[in-house]
Chains A and B, each alone.
Chain A
């Protein structure tokens, strides 16, 4: 059986590399530098508490933050107070959440 191992992405994100966060903020859809690509791969591969996603409230217009629980069949966890009207803002919000989860550090507020 061929499986995708959730633990396979093991790149260690350097919390001092704020410049990579700044690069993502400026161009969330890329193209990205090699180092930022590694950061994003680590962030996108898996998350211990479940994967952050968006739920389309209105297709192409409004999206709500949500999280897919680690267990199949368990309802999606939604965050009704966190609604976006811009996908780039949503990407940035989740990037910050993941940065904190993976490095233990908050990104500085003035980065935005």
Chain B
């Protein structure tokens, strides 16, 4: 057994140019050192039925022994005003906010706090989910606690008031919907100090409390939404405090208004703006979810751009994790002679008698002015990020039923089960049940590296290995570069391959592929369920994506109503199909079904005998079963499959070459494929559950070839590469690399 996580790390940047410096940030709780070397990844899938792990070491300046240390991870999002003003020397204080708690009773939580050592104040929830306000001066502690816990996912107006004149603490909570057993409204007063303790060096924290230590620097994080937090230097009664919180824009010129944060401003940023006179902006850490509906959201819009004042909430999670913040252990200037590709810092050691082999993945992009191969393989880094550290098989009730068999965990899954601090994927839910909307590469990603789980990264590497075996040169271009550089990232190539599962696509990426095809580019889409979800990359943070899942699509969680637009850009998220650009429009086919019990094979259709596409089937018999073999489900058509559909945009020029349309009862359609509920929707009875192989010409001599199946590339290595999946792939690739125009399509493209 190979230990794949005794040391972990991440690279910054994840995608690097030749000549640029890369840093590796490493941590091990158990090893003092490891042997490091850079490897170029050819096959990342350890499956003994396939090629097995294949890497090549080019030799680098950092190959050798690397000392290791433990660098902890501190999850939990919060906002911080590092040097708050106006808070010392006060006799009284009022805090008010709308709160939507999601895990009351799971432990102590914080709404707003200022704490240093044994002195300070904290407004939040106690371990039982009851609102509480505690104040301590180092010698004495005062606390007032509500009588009953708050309800999950119910808006409540909450206030905490320290009145120095009467030496009292008062808690106010008013349920916004008090009907039918939901009312938790009450006002409670207890004795308090005669003044607010001074804590001049302490930061002011939203949604967490400062520990005063380095590790962890914060604790008692909030799970839930805060909307319009206000901080005032006077002991306010309930009515004026409530009015202050209700006002989206507080009256100007109130010298006692210490802070009035408006989270609807600067939504794509890490800054929570204070619109009060002191401008005490808070810096947000670990990417809490923004563009969240506030207590005032009433359903009139789904877009925060249209009515930002209805989106004044931030959803904080105690398990948010966007940046581990580790210090670099190794840095390397990438030699300019290295080819683009999938690379890794391989770390090996021995631990408890076991071999340790852990990988820190990165990608090298082609040199801007260097040699380009005529072929580019797209590294689906947006999809890799979407799945980064997926705990779906660990956490989700449906996992085994969906996968149609006993779940096989890798060593990494076992590690992830106990180490949730790594942060999960956009397939997962936070501990409070809400979905993970964002994913970053500033943390170890266990399933985007050699020996990781075979989906995506590992499957795509089977294509890389096949290309190497065939002696076909290629560059690697990443999703993120396509997003940032647009058509310029694709235009140098005669042919571009998107591999097993290019599922997550920004508008910029989709536009780039579209322009590439219209400009005469040739696109081989050798996967399934591609171009499906609409995402955004963060405008400034590298390697950070955002997704919102709504009520449409094959989704492992469903976002809250009104929260379907991306905080990073304001664009609607969800399916491209629901955004007017179904995958069929770009690549001819689009996702129709999952099939995990067994993969199938294709049979040829009449279009495949058209002489204009004879090149595709050279060496393939008329009745031959195509892909009745493969590493995933024993066939080339499976896992997730796509079909052509003119009503969704498959072009008139599309030729339906072959199909796998007998996928059995394990072929289950995507939810958006069903209008109404009825029996007979599974693959044994439903001809629309299928994988279609298609070809169509595009403008200026371009063309698109598709296989409509995630399992396709996993069939390439069968029988040492001597098989009809490899033959068809090779036939198409060689022709697509040949600049000669396709004959006979003059009136079709």
Chain A residues lying within 8 Å of B414, measured Cβ to Cβ, are 55, 66, 75-76
| Chain B 557-589 near chain A by CB (<8 Å), digits 1 or 0 | 110100000000000000000000000000000
Q: How large is the interface on A (under 10, 10 to 19, 20 to 34, 35 or more residues)?
A: 35 or more
Do residues A4 and B433 form an inter-chain contact, with CB atoms below 8 A? no
Which of chain B's residues has its CB closest to A61's CB? B48
Cα–Cα, bound, A28→B598 (Å): 12
Query: In the complex, what distance in Å separates the CA atom of A9 from the CA atom of B402?
Result: 13
**Complex contacts, B46 vs chain A, CB 8 Å:** 59-60
Residues of A at the B interface (CB closer than 8 Å) are 1-6, 8-9, 28-31, 37, 41, 44-46, 51-61, 63, 66, 68, 72-76, 87, 90-91, 94
Taking a contact as CB atoms closer than 8 A, the residue among A1, A45, A90 that contacts B153 in the complex is A1
Inter-chain CA distance A52–B557, complex, in Å, is 23
Q: How many residues of B contact A (CB 8 A)?
A: 40
Chain B residue nearest in CB terms to A31: B664
Residue of A nearest to B556 (CB): A4
Contact present for A60 and B409 (CB under 8 Å): no
Confirm or deny: B60 has a beta carbon within 8 angstroms of a beta carbon on chain A.
no
- On whether A37 and B665 interact (CB within 8 A), knowing A61-B48, A73-B420, A76-B414, the answer reads yes
Is the pair B397, A94 in contact by a Cβ cutoff of 8 Å?
A: no
Specify the main secondary structure of chain B where it touches its partner. loop
Q: Which chain B residues numbered 403 to 432 have a C-beta less than 8 Å away from chain A?
A: 404-411, 413-414, 417-418, 420, 431
B558 contacts which chain A residues (CB < 8 A)? 1-2
Q: Is the CB of A56 within 8 A of B598?
A: no
A75–B418 CB distance below 8 A: yes
Complex-state Cα separation, A4 to B402, whole angstroms: 12
Listed A/B pairs (22) with beta-carbon separation below 8 Å = A1-B560, A2-B555, A4-B398, A5-B397, A30-B404, A31-B664, A53-B408, A55-B414, A56-B408, A56-B410, A57-B1, A58-B1, A60-B47, A60-B49, A68-B417, A72-B391, A72-B417, A73-B420, A75-B414, A75-B417, A76-B409, A76-B418
Say whether B409 contacts A46, CB under 8 Å: no
Nearest residue (CB) in B for A95 is B406
B550 CB to nearest chain A CB (Å): 10
Give Cα distance in the complex from A69 to B391, angstroms. 13
Beyond A4-B397, A46-B397, A73-B418, is A52–B406 a contact (Cβ under 8 Å)? yes
A91 to B434, alpha carbons, bound, how many Å? 33
Residues of B within 8 A of A (CB): 1, 46-49, 153, 391, 393-398, 400-401, 404-411, 413-414, 417-418, 420, 431, 433-434, 555, 557-558, 560, 597-598, 664-666
Q: How far is the CB of B75 from chain A (nearest CB, A)?
A: 11
Give the residues in chain A near B395, CB-CB below 8 Å. 72
Residues of A within 8 Å of B398, CB to CB, are 4, 45
Q: Tell me the nearest residue of chain B to A43, going by C-beta.
A: B400
Q: What distance in Å separates the Cβ of B315 from its nearest Cβ neighbour in chain A?
A: 13
Q: CA separation between A58 and B1, bound complex, in Å?
A: 6
Please tell me which one of the listed residues B48, B404, B413 contacts residue A60 in the complex, with CB atoms under 8 A apart: B48
Chain A residues whose CB sits within 8 angstroms of the CB of B396 once the complex forms: 4
In the bound complex, residues from chain B placing their C-beta under 8 Å from that of A51 are: 400, 407
CB distance from A45 to the nearest CB of B (A): 6
Q: Are B407 and A53 in contact (CB under 8 A)?
A: yes
Query: Cβ of B406: which chain A residues have Cβ within 8 Å of it?
Result: 52-54, 87, 90-91, 94
Asked if A44 and B434 sit within 8 Å, CB to CB, the answer is no
Query: Is A66 a contact partner of B409 (Cβ separation < 8 A)?
Result: yes
Residues in B with CB closer than 8 Å to A55 are 408-411, 413-414
What are the residues of chain B within 8 A of A75 when measuring CB–CB? Answer: 414, 417-418
Smallest CB gap from A60: residue in B:
B48
3 closest A-B pairs (Cβ-Cβ)? A2-B558, A4-B397, A44-B400
